[in-house]
Amino acid sequence: QAARFAQQCSKCHTIGQGDRVGPDLKDVTKRRKRDWLIGFITAPGRYLDTDPIARKLLERYNGVRMAELGLSRSEAEAMIAYIETVSEGGGGVEIPRPLLPEKKDRRIAGPGPRGPLHRGGLVALGIVVLLGLVAWGAGYNGLLGTLGIVAVFLLYWSLGGYRYHHLWGNDQGYEPQQPIAFSHALHAGEMEISCLYCHSGAERGPVAGVPAVGVCMNCHRIVDRRRGQEHPSPEIAKIRAAWESRKSDTPKPIRWVRVHQLPAFVTFTHEAHVRNGITCQECHGPVQEMERIRQVSDLTMGWCVNCHRKEGVEVPTHWLRSQASTDCNICHQ
């Protein structure tokens, strides 16, 4: 039951650690009748549509509907028994730990907006162009190729490369436009929705995953606009259109643009990192402040190895495990 709770319930609920997307379930059997709980767990949609208690909970928790888990009565009873055991502090079960909030002094700074042109680089570029013209007029064609390479470098440097430059293949700062203007600042920041609610694969496998449209529709069946807006959001309309087209002859999937990509020769698993208390922000930066997601870290081997070498006394001190393996076979299988 602990594994089932971690996989199916912990994205929205805790047992004794406060509200998340949904209510804290500690001592829930003292607040609700057992038959009501069994009915709600096995058929949440029907209860949320008709039961007055469930409808009040729905209103209190921002209209977020509980997913249909497909549990039988016996499975629901076993889950309730598990919640009772954890609530009483018995049974030696482990409660899944929520991700800790980001520490302000540990944020990883990404490249800022592009600054003014580099005047010195532009002056040097002008000189190189003049030299190229002189060389071309004098017939020194062999020198033109070298001057051309220098000119390209100076142009890049002048247009902003002097502020932010990196090796080929390093996508730090990559911030592509997405088919839907999804705001992590709104969902993860303002609304404080757990990262694991959408990226549930992160705690049980190598890939965090992009949530299925059905996960979005848990909320957006009801929510069609931002709070305070008069008209429905066109971005939410895109999500609903994708959902409604799923069984048609011409489905319209949302084609998200991948931001973080490791080389094929690297083996990485989110599960090991999440289970050891490493927060999302340690690698992905202050996601809860991003309107559009970007790659904050360079994701190079040196960057990874530096983290693996950290001592337990170093920041961040909340790591459950320090001095992770630096064996080549761990990441290059």
Q: What is the pLDDT of residues 145-195, one digit of tens each?
A: 787 888 887 777 676 665 555 566 677 888 889 999 999 999 988 888 888
Query: 298 by DSSP, 3-state: which?
Result: coil
Average pLDDT, the chain: 79
Q: Which helix (H) or strand (E) holds 58?
A: helix 52-60
H-helix segments, 221-259:
234-244
Of 27, 180, 3, 157, which Cα lies nearest the Cα of 93?
Answer: 3
Query: What homologous superfamily is domain 2-87 in, according to CATH?
Result: Cytochrome c-like domain (1.10.760.10)
* Separation in Å, CA 38 to CA 17, 35, 43, 44, 93: 22, 5, 8, 10, 22
Contact 21, 61 (CB under 8 A): yes
Given this model, what pLDDT does residue 255 score? Answer: 92
The least confident of 63-72, 269-278, 309-318 is 309-318
Q: What is the pTM of this model?
A: 0.57
- The C-alpha atoms of residue 289 and residue 208 are separated, in whole angstroms, by 19
For the cut 70, the answer to whether the pLDDT of residue 137 exceeds it is yes
In terms of phi and psi (left: phi > 0; alpha: psi -120 to 50; beta: otherwise), the region of 104 is alpha
Q: What CA–CA distance (Å, rounded) separates 84 from 329? A: 43
Mean pLDDT of all residues in 215-241: 87
**Sequence spans of domains, the chain:** 2-87, 119-161
Q: What is the pLDDT of residue 182?
A: 94
User: Rounded to the nearest 5°, which phi and psi values hold at 324?
Assistant: -65, 165
**pLDDT tier, 13 (very low <50, low <70, confident <90, very high otherwise):** confident
- C-alpha 218/C-alpha 39 separation (Å) is 19
**How far is residue 330's CA from residue 168's CA, in Å, rounded to a whole number?**
25
